[in-house]
A and B are shown apart, each in its own frame.
Chain A
């Protein structure tokens, strides 16, 4: 369970201070997958980095499983935008990077195979397609067998077929592994497809302005239903835009 209370993050000091997040409150139940949407540059990534313990809040509290977050936690994994692969490491070394840093001996062999990357272990990222790179990024997080999964726009800049493929993959993994997830996205369809609830953030500094319950989420077929279309239209209306 993730509890965020009065989270405020301010970059810089004095006259140059930029508030990125201001008094944000949210809760994510254990095994719940929550999508967070909001205008570009509204502080979504800042929120995610704070949840991951990468930056300390200026004010407010973040608790994961009842413990206050004071740094990077081993049961929390972060999937970075554009995967964040290290170009000098092979697919296997990238997938096992977080394990090795934590001094763990496990391998990522099974995870890589599950994600359809068997046979590519010795390749370098520059030899992979964009979709494969994202899967390696996901493999790196999964290899840790985390209880909490934080995802920063995992399908940004992908073509629509690959995007749906990765979205289905994330949904399947959520069913299979049962993690608590926070997915940050600016894609309205993605938020409705992957969020049991969708939190809508304000423009910078970010606050939660609306919460959309989305009980129908959970099946790959959800995309084709009228309910999905209605939720997407509703969310679009909340965000006040005419297009995604």
Chain B
């Protein structure tokens, strides 16, 4: 409990620090260029207050969209990654395929995605899922390759089926690295979300996602910047949620000799 309080405190200090730097940069730019370039934190806060209902709606929509995309990426990517990492035959045949597709940015395919799926909700999800899916696959595959053989022997010697080997060994053994990878991918995912909501969201109102909100208010720098802050907070939210998830699901990682009790 005291640890979580300390963590919250550290985040508050970090936010204060970022706000201070932001204010400094804003002031410096104004002095150098003779007019306001970057709205100050104060202006942005006021702008956020003015548009609060719309901003909140945009935040909620983006959060839900990202949650669905992340869940889909896990649902599809985790089984595939674990199987490819754990079954040498699948590894031989599917790994080249994965490694060829992995570095292809879905952004480069936006035109085709748009033509294929139209401008509805589906295409925005597809872009984010595509980016996160490969992150999950590659992380799961890497972790599943290095499972301790005696852990497999332990369950096989009890007569485990292949499904039981996955359930008792492969999944729990790889979960910490997969969750860490997912946390690292939050930044990439938010970027993709922004692109999906701007490039593929031109028909929407400002409440239909933070990306759309930012673009909709392009000519009101202060409001637009409030949307950017919202995007940063959205990333932080998912980062923290994934960290908490790891602490709950992988409790064994945080006890004993390796973790602090």
Contacts and interface: CB of A to CB of B under 8 A. Distances in A.
A102 B158 contact: yes
Nearest to B151: A86
Given A81-B150, A86-B151, A86-B168, A126 B156 contact: no
A116 interface: no
- Interface secondary structure of B, over-half rule: helix
B153 A101 contact: no
A52 interface: yes
22 contacts: A52-B157, A72-B158, A77-B157, A80-B150, A80-B154, A84-B150, A84-B151, A84-B153, A84-B154, A85-B154, A86-B151, A86-B172, A89-B172, A101-B158, A101-B160, A101-B164, A123-B255, A124-B252, A126-B255, A127-B255, A127-B257, A127-B261
A196 B167 CA distance: 40
A98 interface: yes
B159 A126 contact: no
Interface in A112-144: 123-127, 140, 144
B151 A101 contact: no
Contact of B257 (A81, A102, A126): A126
A64 to B, nearest CB: 14
A87 interface: yes
A74 interface: yes
Nearest to B156: A54
Contacts of A187: none
B252 A97 contact: no
A82 B148 CA distance: 12
B96 interface: no
Interface string B249-260: 011100111100
Given A124-B255, A126-B256, A88 B173 contact: yes
Contact of A88 (B153, B154, B172): B172
Given A126-B256, A126-B257, A86 B159 contact: no
B157 A78 contact: yes
Contact of A127 (B155, B159, B256): B256
Interface in B138-191: 150-151, 153-160, 164, 168-169, 172-173, 175
Contacts, number: 72
A140 B169 CA distance: 16
- Interface secondary structure of A, over-half rule: loop
Nearest to B173: A88
Interface of B: 150-151, 153-160, 164, 168-169, 172-173, 175, 250-252, 255-258, 261
Contact of B158 (A71, A98, A127): A98
B159 A74 contact: yes
B159 A102 contact: yes
Interface centre among B157, B168, B255, B256 (most CB of A within 10 A): B157
A117 to B, nearest CB: 16
Contact of A82 (B150, B159, B160, B164): B150
Contacts of A89: 168, 172, 252
Contacts of B164: 101
Contacts of B258: 126
Given A101-B159, A126-B252, 11 more contacts: A72-B156, A77-B157, A78-B157, A81-B150, A86-B151, A86-B172, A89-B172, A102-B158, A124-B255, A126-B256, A127-B256
A97 B256 contact: no
Contacts of B159: 71-72, 74, 101-102
A15 B150 CA distance: 28
Contacts of B150: 80-82, 84
B257 A97 contact: no
B153 A80 contact: yes
A47 B157 CA distance: 14
Contacts of B250: 88
B110 to A, nearest CB: 41
Query: Would you list the 6 A-B pairs with minimal beta carbon distance, nearest first?
Result: A126-B256, A98-B158, A84-B154, A127-B256, A88-B172, A101-B158
Contacts of A102: 158-159
A5 B157 CA distance: 22
A44 B189 CA distance: 51
A86 to B, nearest CB: 6
